[in-house]
């Protein structure tokens, strides 16, 4: 067992069915698995496999709830821990929609559900008012989750109200860490702006529930009308990212945050199996180098 458990989000394995995913995880010493209960968009049905489109393992929220016992048995048989679900859920969703996700997570024993905050306007807005509204909505979600003994998790996602550790803390600090946690998303830190690892870990502390680890790098974009170069990002292997991943892993370990590192590698034009193999192999080297 690694010092920080190694996991994967099913979002990055669109071209593998469930049995194939579990077999690959077992081979690579991936012990934690984040479940993807989503409805494939109608326009993606029958299209090539894609992270956010068509998936070979077509697991809808209804199907997760209906087949939770069998899904859990397959995970248990493979020695893999179900760790969270990542539906396309938002605090703007209805109680019924959120309950379906929470019930599915509870039934399979995943323990936590990712629920996104309200979107950030692309124009001037009142930040304090939006945070207050967001916190009130999360209070509603936490109340729905409490009877099912589920935790709500917020991803530090780019272009969101929780894009950085400090922005996420402005929401989480109104709750207990056992009620709300964060998905510490390293690929998105690369896009939004890099903190020093020890500072980033210290800011969120006990609110760090688990990590999403994938690579991205800056690429040159077009020049605007005034001659200023615009910069874009490109997904890439974690060993080629602009963000230095081992620094964050060492900071988490040093702070005693023994949270799962969930691989979420979206490098384009590479199979899910190849992406997970590359990432898990590289991360294993880092984890095995950590002091006991």
226-242: string of b/e by CB count within 10 Å (b at 16+)?
A: eeeeeeebebbbbeebe
HSE at residue 207, side-chain half, CA atoms within 13 A, is: 29
d(Cα 12, Cα 179) in Å, to the nearest integer? Answer: 27
Token duo for residue 242 = 């602009």
In this predicted model, what pLDDT tens digit does every residue of 123-160 receive, in sequence order? Answer: 999 999 999 999 999 999 999 999 999 999 999 998 89
Element of type H or E holding 201: helix 197-204
Token duo for residue 81 = 């821990």
**Confidence at residue 192, expressed as pLDDT on a 0 to 100 scale:** 82
Token duo for residue 127 = 């930040």
**Confidence at residue 260, expressed as pLDDT on a 0 to 100 scale:** 98
**Confidence at residue 71, expressed as pLDDT on a 0 to 100 scale:** 98
d(Cα 69, Cα 211) in Å, to the nearest integer? Answer: 26
> Domain 6-288, CATH 3.90.1300.10 — does that match?
no
Residue 10, pLDDT > 90, answer: yes
Strand pairing category for 261-263 and 229-236:
unpaired
SS3 string of 91-117?
A: CCCCHHHHHHHHHHHHHHCCCEEECEC
**Confidence at residue 220, expressed as pLDDT on a 0 to 100 scale:** 86
Backbone φ and ψ for 214, nearest 5 degrees, come out as -150, 165
d(Cα 266, Cα 14) in Å, to the nearest integer? Answer: 11
Contact 80, 22 (CB under 8 A): yes
Token duo for residue 220 = 């040159």
In this predicted model, what pLDDT tens digit does every residue of 96-130 receive, in sequence order? Answer: 999 999 999 999 999 999 999 988 999 999 999 99
In DSSP notation, 126-193 reads -HHHHHHHHHHHHHHHHHHHGGGT-EEEEE--TTBTT-SHHHHHHHHTTS-TTTEEEEEEHHHHHHH-
Band of the pLDDT at 1, cuts 50, 70, 90? Answer: confident
**Confidence at residue 117, expressed as pLDDT on a 0 to 100 scale:** 97
Residue 194, pLDDT > 80, answer: no
Q: What DSSP character marks residue 39?
A: P
d(Cα 77, Cα 63) in Å, to the nearest integer? Answer: 20
**Confidence at residue 242, expressed as pLDDT on a 0 to 100 scale:** 92
Contact 255, 202 (CB under 8 A): yes
Average pLDDT over residues 236-250: 95
d(Cα 275, Cα 267) in Å, to the nearest integer? Answer: 7
The domains of the chain are located at 6-288
Contact 140, 91 (CB under 8 A): yes
Residue 174, pLDDT > 80, answer: yes
**Confidence at residue 159, expressed as pLDDT on a 0 to 100 scale:** 87
Average pLDDT over residues 194-205: 94
Residue 193, pLDDT > 80, answer: no
**Confidence at residue 101, expressed as pLDDT on a 0 to 100 scale:** 98
In this predicted model, what pLDDT tens digit does every residue of 29-82 receive, in sequence order? Answer: 999 999 999 999 999 999 999 999 999 999 999 999 999 999 999 999 999 999
Q: What is the C-alpha R_g of the chain?
A: 19
């Amino acid at each position: 067992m690694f010092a920080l458990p190694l996991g994967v989000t099913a979002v990055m394995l669109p071209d593998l069915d469930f049995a194939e995913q579990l077999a690959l995880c077992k081979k690579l010493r991936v012990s934690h698995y984040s479940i993807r209960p989503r409805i494939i968009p109608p326009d993606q049905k029958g299209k090539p496999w894609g992270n956010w489109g068509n998936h070979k393992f077509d697991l809808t929220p209804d199907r997760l709830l209906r087949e939770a016992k069998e899904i859990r048995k397959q995970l248990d048989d493979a020695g893999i821990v179900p760790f969270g679900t990542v539906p396309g859920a938002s605090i703007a969703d209805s109680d019924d929609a959120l309950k379906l996700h929470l019930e599915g997570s509870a039934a399979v024993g995943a323990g936590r559900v990712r629920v996104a905050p309200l979107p950030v306007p692309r124009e001037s807005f009142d930040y304090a008012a939006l945070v207050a509204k967001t916190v009130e909505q999360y209070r509603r979600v936490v109340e729905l989750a409490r009877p099912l003994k589920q935790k709500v998790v917020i991803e530090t996602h780019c272009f969101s109200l929780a894009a950085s550790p400090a922005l996420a803390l402005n929401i989480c600090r109104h709750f207990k860490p056992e009620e709300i946690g964060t998905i510490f998303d390293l690929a998105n830190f690369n896009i939004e702006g890099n903190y020093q690892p020890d500072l980033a870990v210290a800011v969120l502390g006990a609110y760090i529930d688990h990590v999403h680890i994938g690579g991205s790098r800056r690429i040159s974009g077009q020049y605007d009308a005034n001659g200023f170069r615009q910069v874009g990002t490109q997904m890439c292997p974690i060993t080629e990212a602009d963000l230095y991943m081992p620094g964050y892993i060492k900071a988490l370990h040093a702070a005693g945050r023994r949270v799962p590192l969930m691989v979420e590698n979206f490098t384009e034009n590479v199979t899910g199996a190849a992406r997970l193999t590359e990432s898990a192999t590289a991360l294993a080297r880092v984890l095995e180098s950590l002091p006991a």
